[in-house]
Amino acid sequence: MAKEQHFDGQGVAAGIAIGTAYVRESGAVDVPELRIPKNQVEKEQKRLKAAVRLARRQIRLVQSRAAAKSGTAGEELTYLLDAYLHMLQDSRLVRGAEQRIANQQINAEAAVKAEIVDIAQVFQAMDDSYIAARVDDIREVGNRLLRNLTKTPIKPFSAAPENSIVIAEQLTPADTAQLDPAQIVGAAAMLGSAEGHTAIMARALGLPTVLGAAGLTGGVRSGDRVIVDGSAGHVVVNPAPKTIAAYERHRTEHRRQTRRLDRLRNLAAITRDGAEITLQANVELPIEMNMVTQAGAQGIGLLRSEFMFMNRDDVPSEDEQVDALRSVIGVMGKRSVTVRTLDVGAEKPVAALLNGIEESAVSNLGLRGIRLSLAQTDVLETQFRAILRAANSGHVRVLLPMVSQVGEIRRAREIMKKAAAKLHRRGVTIPDPLPPMGVMIEVPGAALAADAFAQASDFFAIGSNDLTMYTLAIDRGNEHVAHLFDPLHPGVLRLIQFTATAALRARIPVSICGEMAGDPRYSALLLGLGIRDLSMTPSSIPRVKQRIREMDMDAANRRAGVIMDQVDSGRIATLLDDFNALA
């Protein structure tokens, strides 16, 4: 019997999963692999040819946009795309795949996939760094063919059997969005950490997940039995029967606790001395709407609109966006929904949006969030039109991500007005007045200038994830610095307090929607800093509500006062934990 192995990482989504490992090869696209009868060989070869033609058209389109860009970046991209086009002509990749279909009688997807693996092996064996680097190009082109063959949207884990635990070197937020909880019960990866978007997505789906588990992929094979403890940050491969029994008991206890908290659903989030707090939900995917209702959320404080743009090669049309937004807004009825415009960035690239902009320009300090939207105003205008149309059926607010200049808010307002005017001309009814427009306070410069920003915006939503990242210069998704990511750093707390005070003075609403908001450990401090509206992943609402109901607002204010006099985050943590233990 295989030996039990243990791996440690960060538990980023609580709960225990016991299932069968489904190991994802890095960079691979999951495709169906089928044997075909002889009389279908020609048909499969034709499908391959069509996918090649489509890939060439797609690349030429990107190339024509790249050519419009001046400078060396545009030139380099043009050369690279030339090389891709070449690989799609009479190359080993295409010829090899064609022959495999005939010789091995397999479908086109399986043939392309096998050919990529073969070429990669040959290249890697050559021990030449230039040729080794070309392996990535072959994969890129091959994966495009696979996507064209399987037709978008891409379903990366559709081949995983029921009760699977996905094991990967890295899971992007877009990958994670594709994990179907009916089929996949947990996930673990070698890279990533608790504050990144992959972790947020895993929590949204309620999938026990461990990230940053060093050495994991070397120690596990598809089909192995695996336990993921997303609370403790532990993965066990090939567990002994006695280990499984122990974790089954943990799992039962975790489920019992969750059910107990469900009873709070219809109770108000009110402190013992009568302060009413609003608890809203952060939503990544429409699939969460059941959970939003079940958790008793008073509204959606953050709808991350990226879900509409993920896992596809094109930009969703206005109508598609309207449908997706209505599926969320309709469920909420009279409760407010805060729709954030696209926050595409380093962790969440969307190829179709690059439109001639080279990939390296989109980074955490580059064209992220509102910056990319303002560089592609047509995409933003379409998004505004969709939001305005969907807003007719509910109470909607619009939120701008990554704002660092007051001018960005003004420009966004102008684009919203333009979108509204276009809809008027089309005879479409839209809300009058236009929905409130607020900004995420998540860049330190915006927090420091919160009083000025309050003059230009209708509300604030504090993004403590990015605010911590940018204030402390710590990449939120990087497992190497995960231990340094500290929202209790006095620098971060001062920025939160300054923002809350500025909003209060300007009489505009302020909420917090970073991961801090969903951790009951921080509730007393956030309330003490003047925040009365918290937005979080739906499953966190009951726990935070429970904490609020046992707390005294006056005492929380006093403790926050003491905490804000401290300079050391260790001391702050102790003062906070002592206060929490008193309740």
List active site positions: 197, 513
189/512 with CB nearer ligand PEP:
512
Q: What is the DSSP letter of 102?
A: H
For the bound state, the minimum distance from the C-beta of residue 400 to Mg ion, rounded and expressed in Å, comes to 11
59/512 with CB nearer ligand PEP:
512
109/466 with CB nearer ligand PEP:
466
Per-position x/- string for 335-374, each x denoting binding to ligand PEP as judged by CB under 6 A, each - no binding: --------x-------------------------------
The window from 29-37, 202-210, 213-221, 459-467 that contacts ligand PEP (CB under 6 A) reads 459-467
For the bound state, the minimum distance from the C-beta of residue 537 to Mg ion, rounded and expressed in Å, comes to 14
Could you say whether residue 304 binds ligand PEP (CB under 6 A)?
yes
For the bound state, the minimum distance from the C-beta of residue 345 to ligand PEP, rounded and expressed in Å, comes to 8
Helix (H) or strand (E) holding 196: none
141/513 with CB nearer ligand PEP:
513
Q: Which of 493, 510, 509 is nearest to 564 (CA)?
A: 493
For the bound state, the minimum distance from the C-beta of residue 465 to ligand PEP, rounded and expressed in Å, comes to 3
Number of residues forming the site for Mg ion (CB under 5 A)? 3
Distance CA 400, CA 487 (A): 22
Per-position x/- string for 462-501, each x denoting binding to ligand PEP as judged by CB under 6 A, each - no binding: -xxxx-----------------------------------
Interface residue with ligand PEP among 9, 514, 518, 520 (CB under 6 A) is: 514
What are the CA-CA distances from residue 215 to residues 7, 26, 233 (Å)? 8, 14, 14
Among Mg ion, ligand PEP, none, partner that 229 touches (CB below 5 to 8 angstroms by kind): none
Distance CA 87, CA 410 (A): 46
Interface residue with ligand PEP among 52, 396, 513, 575 (CB under 6 A) is: 513
| Pairing mode, strands 225-229 and 234-237 | antiparallel
Among ligand PEP, Mg ion, none, partner that 464 touches (CB below 5 to 8 angstroms by kind): ligand PEP
Quote the tokens at residue 401.
């991500």
Distance CA 578, CA 369 (A): 38
Distance CA 105, CA 35 (A): 6
For the bound state, the minimum distance from the C-beta of residue 514 to ligand PEP, rounded and expressed in Å, comes to 3
The window from 19-27, 411-419, 427-435, 461-469 that contacts ligand PEP (CB under 6 A) reads 461-469
For the bound state, the minimum distance from the C-beta of residue 442 to ligand PEP, rounded and expressed in Å, comes to 5
Could you say whether residue 487 binds Mg ion (CB under 5 A)?
no
Residue 346 CA to its chain's centroid (Å): 11
Could you say whether residue 466 binds Mg ion (CB under 5 A)?
yes
For the bound state, the minimum distance from the C-beta of residue 576 to ligand PEP, rounded and expressed in Å, comes to 19
Number of residues forming the site for ligand PEP (CB under 6 A)? 11
CB–CB of 504/530 below 8 Å?
Answer: yes
**Residues sharing a CB contact under 8 Å with residue 44, sequence separation 6 or more, in sequence order:** 36, 101, 107, 108, 111
Half-sphere exposure of 503 (CA within 13 A, CB side): 28
**Continuous H helices in 341-473:** 351-354, 370-375, 377-391, 406-425, 444-448, 450-456, 464-472
CA-based torsion, 170, 536, 470, 406: positive or negative: positive
Cis peptide before 239 (omega within 30 of 0): no
Residue 84 CA to its chain's centroid (Å): 29
145/462 with CB nearer ligand PEP:
462
- How crowded is residue 13: how many other Cβ atoms within 10 Å of its Cβ? 28
171/200 with CB nearer ligand PEP:
200
Distance CA 574, CA 583 (A): 15
For the bound state, the minimum distance from the C-beta of residue 476 to ligand PEP, rounded and expressed in Å, comes to 8
Q: Which strands make up the sheet holding 209-211, listed edge to edge? A: 5-8, 234-237, 225-229, 16-24, 164-168, 184-189, 209-211, 10-13
435/514 with CB nearer ligand PEP:
514
Quote the tokens at residue 292.
């939003």
The angle formed by the CA atoms of residues 319, 204 and 280, to the nearest 5 degrees, is 80
164/280 with CB nearer ligand PEP:
280
Interface residue with Mg ion among 224, 284, 442, 533 (CB under 5 A) is: 442
For the bound state, the minimum distance from the C-beta of residue 437 to Mg ion, rounded and expressed in Å, comes to 17
The window from 90-98, 172-180, 418-426, 457-465 that contacts ligand PEP (CB under 6 A) reads 457-465
Among Mg ion, ligand PEP, none, partner that 513 touches (CB below 5 to 8 angstroms by kind): ligand PEP
**Continuous H helices in 263-400:** 289-294, 318-332, 351-354, 370-375, 377-391
Interface residue with Mg ion among 19, 156, 463, 542 (CB under 5 A) is: 463
Among ligand PEP, Mg ion, none, partner that 109 touches (CB below 5 to 8 angstroms by kind): none
Residues that bind ligand PEP (CB under 6 A): 200, 302, 304, 343, 442, 463-466, 513-514
Site residues for Mg ion per CB under 5 A: 442, 463, 466
